[in-house]
Structure formats: C-alpha cells, structure tokens
Structure 1
Amino acid sequence: MSDAPTTVYQLMPPVDLPAALDRQEIDYLTVQADRLFVIFRKAIINIEIREGTLETTRRIMIDVLDTAPRSAGTEDQLIDKFLEQLETATGTEWRDLSS
C-alpha cells in the first residue's frame, strides 16, 4: 500500500463518476455506495465520495493504493494524468482542497 498523502478535490459542477469513467473506458469497481477502485495505467486508485453520490459527486478523496513496479512517474503524476483525462471528458474543474 502507498504512503502517499490523500488529496481532496471539489468538483464544479458535480460529476456522474461512473458515467465519466465508462465514457473514458477506464475500468473501476464499485466497492461501496461511496467508494470506487479505479484501474488506471496499471495502478489502483482509491476514490471516496465525501459529498454527493457516485452520480452527483461534488467532493472526493483520492489516493493511489498500488502501482506497477516499473510504472512511469510518481503517484502525484499518476493522479494528475487521471484527473486531466476526466477533466477533459467532463468539462469539470477539479479543485484541490488539500493545499
């Protein structure tokens, strides 16, 4: 498991997260009503909904649970690439609330 810090994001406007992931053909597993495991570039990303539902996500917590031994980039870079792909697909601004 990762020791990287967890990052919290606010989404403006809210996003239907499963639909956005489906449109980008990104694999995911719904673990709970407010939690997903996303497979992205051979990494497992944990997403927990902090405000809203999976279909109306307004605030989320993201961290990388596991990466491939030779994956390119840091965990922060991996999350950045993941968010860039979703921002483009959804037209949603992902504001980092952790800093």
Structure 2
Amino acid sequence: MVLGALPAAAGGDAAAGRKRAAACQACHGLDGLSKLPEAPNLAGQVEVYLVKVLREYRDGTRRNEVMNVVAKELTDADIDNLAAYYGGLQIEVLPPG
C-alpha cells in the first residue's frame, strides 16, 4: 500500500465520534474491541486508514453487506469523527504466551 494513497486525516472530533459510535457497538464494541469474530477491532487503528475504508464502504468500492448499508448513512464529518474516536483509543497488546 502506498501511503500517499490514503486521505489526509481531517482532525475529526473524537467526542462526537464517541456519540456516533453507539451505532457501531453491537459489532465493534463501544471500546473498539470487537464482540464478534467476523468484525475487526477498531480501537487503536490508524485514523487515515479508518477514514479510507469507511469512505470505500460508503461509496461501494469496498464490499461488505453490513458495512455498505451502515456507511451509506455516514457523512464525511461522521467518518472523520469516528476515525478520531477509534484511532485515539489506546489498547494494550500483550506478548503471546
């Protein structure tokens, strides 16, 4: 992946993103830690990556039956805010074993 292909982070509002994330919690958890094996963790993801994939789901260039429907309702501001919220969550990664 070429870093230049990612959109610039728009500096979303993490507090607004947390409110909007209530709709995401059934699959991804409000804390960004997935409750379902088929849903990825969002906590600690790179903000520009989250913006990129959410826009792709919304535009239909990335396919997932659930996410394409959910993302159609998101504005650019919603996407920036969700990315700021989930990207700003700190997670602790433990070594295996």
TM-score interval (norm. to shorter): 0.3 to 0.5
Structure 2 length-normalised TM? 0.33
Structure showing the higher strand proportion among its residues: 1
Structure showing the higher helix proportion among its residues: 2
- Which has the larger Rg? 2
